[in-house]
Amino acid sequence: MKILVIGGGGREDVLAWKLARDSARPELFCAPGNAGTRRYGTNLDIGAEDMDALLAWARVHRPDLTVVGPEAPLCAGVVDQFEAEGLRVFGPSQAGAELEGSKVFSKEVMSAAGVPTAAAEYFTSAAEAKAYLDQTGVPVVIKAEGLAAGKGVTVCETREQAESAIDESLVGRAFGDAGNRILVEAFLDGEEASILALVDGTRFVLLASSQDHKRALDDDQGPNTGGMGAYSPAPIIADEMWPLIRDTVFQPLLDELTRRGISYKGVLYAGLMVGESGIKVLEFNCRFGDPEAQVVIPRISSDLVPVLNACIDGALSDDLVTWHDDVAVGVVMASGGYPGSYQKGKVIEGLDDAGSLDGVVVFHAGTAVRDGDVVTSGGRVLCVTARGRDLEQAVAQAYKAIEKIGFDGAHYRRDIAAKAFRCVRST
């Protein structure tokens, strides 16, 4: 069995890691992959957004299954193109991926479906957006409409910050075409959680909860990033919340997509805010989260290939996904300067020592191989993930592993899962 994994980040490394352990023992190919994915299969010198090259390779090699990791190729229609070639591919169509590709579209769908979310208006004019602040006041959230690698969202506590964020996107074009239109959204107070679902067009299976850490620095300080760490499960999602999440978030959203003629298959990711006013949706994404995937997927005890195929075939059922009874914590090690500018090519040491610790897997993201050394090649370099019988053990093991890894300029948060400890102690 041949499987092609499209992408080269941490999410794709954990997908390759899990697929390599499947009972089918597939032959894996990753396009382009990273220094981590080469442990499980063959890296291809093909970019994740190079549609022509991806299709050319697939026509010749005919993979039995293609798994699309990142949002950009999904939003560009890679699933539609592979399906037109008669290839089996896991992921939503371009129409379905628009939930992530356009925050305006996502808001419109949520409104039509009655999904609870924050009020928002969209603008292409900086002057009009600033005038709207007179109505909203602060705090307020400014969001670039399109794909911005997790960095297009700014929580603004002052009017000055809000106007600066508006100018950054609409005037300075910090996010390129992705920021040509922005949402000015009401601020929601509470604690965030991520819920991922596997969807077969009609049915869906909710995966374990997790919580990402978006800010670059401890205590949720600093700029937004693509994610500095995560843990699963997230105790903020209490047992009694699951029926509510199913019935008020996922089911109506999928029903509305069906009404619009969109058969959604793949991963549907809901970023939730849990507060005094209940559960509200911050955003929907069309793929496994990163770094959420690095803590959710290792907790799945069942094979992954059958459930991905079931999503494609419209044959999904709850019994296809079973879980380890443990906790997982992942801490991201990033390049110095991230999420701003950073240098590449820093030699990474201690990977084998860290990975030899019980329950630890070091997932690669921004890594490459140069002259036999593993070196940094991106902003988020590694996600050091540890599983344990409880949160305390998993956190301790993750940070123990990090102490064994070094590269010039490395930085990471030292408070991953601190919110979970506070939540557990308050119950």
Question: What pLDDT does 179 receive?
Answer: 85
Question: What pLDDT does 23 receive?
Answer: 96
∠ at Cα 340 (131, 221), nearest 5°? 70
Question: What pLDDT does 276 receive?
Answer: 87
pLDDT classification of 422: cutoffs 50, 70, 90: confident
Q: With 90 as the cut, is the pLDDT of residue 174 above it?
A: no
Count: domains in the chain: 4
d(CA 367, CA 377): 5
Q: With 90 as the cut, is the pLDDT of residue 419 above it?
A: no
Would 20 be classed as within a structural domain? yes
As a whole-number percent, the residues of the chain with pLDDT over 70 amount to 98
- 24 and 66 both lie in a single domain: yes
What CATH number is given to the structural domain containing 34? 3.40.50.20
Would 226 be classed as within a structural domain? yes
Question: What pLDDT does 247 receive?
Answer: 98
- 162 and 231 both lie in a single domain: no
Q: With 80 as the cut, is the pLDDT of residue 148 above it?
A: no
Question: What pLDDT does 147 receive?
Answer: 84
What CATH number is given to the structural domain containing 404? 3.90.600.10
Question: What pLDDT does 18 receive?
Answer: 98
- 384 and 299 both lie in a single domain: no
Q: What is the pLDDT of residues 109-120, one digit of tens each?
A: 999 999 999 999
Q: What is the pLDDT of residues 210-242, one digit of tens each?
A: 999 999 999 999 988 999 999 999 999 999 999
- 41 and 155 both lie in a single domain: no
**Is residue 212 a contact partner of residue 202, using CB atoms and an 8 Å limit?**
no
d(CA 314, CA 296): 23
- 311 and 200 both lie in a single domain: yes
Q: Amino acid letter at 381? A: V
Would 306 be classed as within a structural domain? yes
Q: What is the pLDDT of residues 138-147, one digit of tens each?
A: 999 999 988 8
Q: With 90 as the cut, is the pLDDT of residue 425 above it?
A: no
Helix, strand or coil for residue 226? coil
Question: What pLDDT does 297 receive?
Answer: 98
Helix, strand or coil for residue 133? helix
- 197 and 229 both lie in a single domain: yes
Would 65 be classed as within a structural domain? yes
Would 103 be classed as within a structural domain? no
Q: Give CA separation, 369 vs 30, 230, 372, 376, in Å.
A: 15, 26, 6, 9
Q: Containing domain of residue 376, as a range?
A: 327-425
Q: Which of 264, 285, 320 is the last residue before a domain boundary?
A: 320
Q: What is the pLDDT of residues 333-355, one digit of tens each?
A: 999 999 999 999 999 999 999 99
Q: With 80 as the cut, is the pLDDT of residue 128 above it?
A: yes
Q: What is the pLDDT of residues 400-416, one digit of tens each?
A: 999 999 999 999 999 99
Would 350 be classed as within a structural domain? yes
Question: What pLDDT does 251 receive?
Answer: 98
Would 197 be classed as within a structural domain? yes
- 305 and 214 both lie in a single domain: yes
Average pLDDT for 245-260: 98
What CATH number is given to the structural domain containing 231? 3.30.470.20
Q: For tokens 């690095």, name the residue.
A: 294
Q: Which of 290, 320, 350 is the last residue before a domain boundary?
A: 320
- 306 and 348 both lie in a single domain: no
pLDDT classification of 184: cutoffs 50, 70, 90: very high
- 311 and 383 both lie in a single domain: no
Q: Which of 275, 292, 320 is the last residue before a domain boundary?
A: 320
Q: Cα 207 vs. chain centroid, distance in angstroms?
A: 14
Q: What is the pLDDT of residues 284-323, one digit of tens each?
A: 999 999 999 999 999 999 999 999 999 999 999 999 999 9
- 143 and 195 both lie in a single domain: no
- 148 and 89 both lie in a single domain: no
Would 112 be classed as within a structural domain? no
Q: What is the pLDDT of residues 6-22, one digit of tens each?
A: 999 999 999 999 999 99
Helix, strand or coil for residue 192? strand
Q: With 60 as the cut, is the pLDDT of residue 426 above it?
A: no
| CB crowding 128-142: b at 16 or more within 10 Å, else e | ebbebbeebeeebbb
Q: What is the pLDDT of residues 197-211, one digit of tens each?
A: 999 999 999 999 999
Averaged pLDDT of the chain: 95
Question: What pLDDT does 424 receive?
Answer: 59
Beta strands 89-90 and 65-68 are parallel
d(CA 87, CA 276): 46
Q: With 70 as the cut, is the pLDDT of residue 283 above it?
A: yes
Q: With 90 as the cut, is the pLDDT of residue 94 above it?
A: yes
Tokens read off for 262: 């969109």
Tokens read off for 11: 């999410």
- 315 and 333 both lie in a single domain: no
What CATH number is given to the structural domain containing 174? 3.30.1490.20
pLDDT classification of 154: cutoffs 50, 70, 90: confident
pLDDT classification of 178: cutoffs 50, 70, 90: confident
pLDDT classification of 150: cutoffs 50, 70, 90: low
d(CA 179, CA 177): 5
